[in-house]
Structure 1
């Protein structure tokens, strides 16, 4: 890639906001749009170019807003459409773009389309969703919901089942229906006309279901089968996205990123090809599954550390194989993942800050568009103080019912350990602004219990400390803006078999970057050929000991070739 060919979204850094947990402005304990607007100066200070908003639409909140009952209305918990318009204008005034979450694999069962669809078999919206007759008195196939149990819900009135890959209140839309697709595109264009700057597309790889809806491979001892191998990257998904490109995405200079469960390199190159026929980039999940349980029945639930060699191999594969033909998205944290410093780093008092900076350094020098989830730039940790009565996430609640109560795969205490390590509520605890009441998030009762370390880990403390995790992220963002080599350079992994240190290069025509990251709490020594005239761009220690690496030390050198 040449410098002249760089697109704005390739140099951008995205800050993800989970509105419910960011800032409450009216004391009801729930974050809202006015609260986000109040904190735009903070996002601006960090240096982020784009805000990705998790869903703010009308919703009964069976899956925290990912079950949408009206795509063109704001959830009153978050405010009004005028509040959104004000936020959009205020963000644009600060040169911050707004990307909306697009959730069109499914809707809420309270959406008007589904209310009509389930009213009768001959309703003209019946085919907006996926309905099937029972097979031998049972579900149409053996697919499980991603939130445990069957992916089919029986409707007594019509005698048919409808498909819901997620909770039963999230019926899957039938993208084979031409009218349904046209309605989706009209809705998207309505938001584009408002002036938004792009879409993050929820589970977009699953909108095309396999013909015939066949059974999925069933693990031994399981009642239902994970259908991701069949529902991801379906037969018409690229056709639908090319159509979306023509009917919506070409209407403005938008940023688009698809959440693509089950994606591989081959499909990623189609979703995010440089020809621009579909999306700009995708979220892939392979690196997020490296620490899954070896028992398929337990899925993601485990608490074992990731293998650095496997992590290096995976991230390097995506860096190398997408280069020149498609674009990476770079992320550690999001609303569906635990806090990265507690997962791949070390969240002890001694090493939390240096390991958080190390992980940031590793990611932000790679090729792709980086995403920062709220609080990641503070080194916020998993919330070990949350107990079973505190959790809100449907995945955690249903997972416990299925794994502990029904299948008895592990005991209650082991499952709690797994949840503290991998549960989604770790990321959803309220943003920690101050050491005061409710961490400055709300004057009321927070919708989700606060992490009890907010008195020491918070924005006020971070901004007062020149050596904080926040300022490390700020510097990384500025380096990406200033140094085209981070965007255009070729990636080269150094010493793939090293299970303690992750080192790689970014290579340009005239310059190189060398990025070194110690993943251990040990003092190490490595003999990397660093030229004498190399410039130390950034480090998470105050001095440079050259070949000696301190615990979780990270540093990046720039030098001429």
Structure 2
């Protein structure tokens, strides 16, 4: 039944489209506005929460932690890293696109997760890995069998094979068969030009959207057509249309680990968002601004970036982040300083768009070097290990210095409590995510200042990136005479920002929100 339904969906689609600091026990910081703008929480499923005691995180574990993700933290969307059947721990080499890997549970577990998430108005994104398959996928094994027998079948056309060595191709065993594999010999590249492959992809997205998934994170988009950027954009335009035909509100966010110019060009595909790599990680503009205490430069860069992506796609939604499962965790390069972690969080979580938080970032987890060390078990507690997973294969990072969730929830000065406060502010101030961002030049370059205009309301934000207090003259910055300090955030428990006449005093590391 599943295969027949999927094939019918695929055929119809191909025919249609063509080839303020929040107290730990205070109110929930969850959002009150339900639309396409969300704060997403990336869950590396195998390392997040274990429901059955086998040491591997699973879907039922994620379901059990939705109250933490939504009610405690304030996120209103989740991105699940791959959950399809796969021979690897990370699941980025799929062997069945329409099944749940048994390590993570059952389809019933998935349905329960989606149902509970939607009951909380939490959107669910799946990782869509369609640049390649596992070498264990039946499509690939049947193609190899045909080639070895000197015959052919439709699956031979699903991949790029050769009888001679080529750059980017690997040999299948000791045979004379070679195939394209950008990432690994265990990940043969799909031929995305093949109508059969496109029909399969249409069926896959239709299947999961039909199951209630709200959208997809598109893995490795720059590798769809690594030597033809225009073809990659055209393919994503087809994929976007294919998803919209099933669910017009489906949300797509692409991974494109590339430079700003190349990333901007991808927005012409119509894909809603691309992860904002130019601003992210240790080498991005956000960390550079924190290091140099250059608030003016950062606000100007943020305005320019948003204007650029909206020129390419007027409906674009930026996707800021500072860490994910492929990059070093920020606590390490922020010297494990709670104040710097809070300042970094405030900086990117107050940007427009849909920010993405990597699990454990909000409690200061660490990890760098090999990939497994960036994907270590979520630290829920040091006394009650229920739900704690084993490290992934090869994971050796020591997380013993990390203060666990249960302790940080009780500490109003913790990094986690600060994340809660930022998200509560973001969720009760719709203009922050949705507004038109305009850079404001403050009197001191270390003050990040900007406005967000949305539906007739303008919000003004000033963030002091410095370790010294600063006094800013609102008249000199062009702020209206009627504005008052309506909200604030503190990174070190210092005195709150204060307005005396038209002079705003910003303590070190503080954020003031004026309306």
Same fold (TM over 0.5): yes
Report the CA distance between 1:527 and its aligned residue: 3.5
Query: Is 1:179 aligned to 2:207, yes or no?
Result: no
Report the CA distance between 1:170 and its aligned residue: 0.9
SS of residue matched to 1:245: helix
SS of residue matched to 1:330: coil
Counterpart selection for 2:135 from 81, 88, 109: 109
How many residue pairs match? The answer is 455
Q: Gapped runs of 5+ residues in structure 1?
A: 1-6, 142-150, 211-230, 293-302, 384-419
Partners of 2:135 and 2:141 within 8 A in 1: yes
Report the CA distance between 1:182 and its aligned residue: 0.7
Aligned to 2:487: 537
SS of residue matched to 2:166: coil
Counterpart selection for 2:250 from 254, 266, 275: 254
SS of residue matched to 2:324: coil
> Are residues 267 and 340 of structure 1, via their aligned partners in 2, closer, same or farther at CA, if it must alter by over 3 Å?
closer
Distance 2:291 2:96 in 1: 40
Partners of 2:83 and 2:100 within 8 A in 1: yes
Partners of 1:44 and 1:96 within 8 A in 2: yes
Query: Is 1:523 aligned to 2:515, yes or no?
Result: no
| Cα RMSD (Å) | 3.2
Aligned to 2:306: 319
Distance 2:259 2:156 in 1: 30
Q: Gapped runs of 5+ residues in structure 2?
A: 1-32, 499-503
Distance 1:257 1:428 in 2: 21
Aligned to 2:7: none
Report the CA distance between 1:186 and its aligned residue: 0.7
Aligned to 1:240: 235
Aligned to 1:81: 107
SS of residue matched to 2:305: helix
Counterpart selection for 2:152 from 123, 127, 141: 123
> Are residues 360 and 181 of structure 1, via their aligned partners in 2, closer, same or farther at CA, if it must alter by over 3 Å?
same
Partners of 2:380 and 2:388 within 8 A in 1: no
Distance 2:442 2:329 in 1: 26
SS of residue matched to 1:162: strand
Counterpart selection for 2:55 from 29, 52, 71: 29
Query: Is 1:93 aligned to 2:88, yes or no?
Result: no
Aligned to 2:514: 558
Counterpart selection for 1:433 from 348, 356, 380: 380
Counterpart selection for 2:366 from 364, 371, 382: 382
Distance 1:129 1:517 in 2: 53
Distance 2:185 2:300 in 1: 37
Please report the TM-score for the alignment, with normalisation by the length of structure 2. 0.79
Distance 2:384 2:425 in 1: 36
Distance 2:391 2:470 in 1: 50
Distance 2:327 2:496 in 1: 33
Alpha-carbon displacement from aligned partner over 1:48-73 (angstroms, at most 9, x marks no partner): 21111000111111x71101111111
> Are residues 363 and 443 of structure 1, via their aligned partners in 2, closer, same or farther at CA, if it must alter by over 3 Å?
closer
Partners of 1:493 and 1:504 within 8 A in 2: yes
Counterpart selection for 2:325 from 326, 329, 335: 335
Aligned to 1:297: none
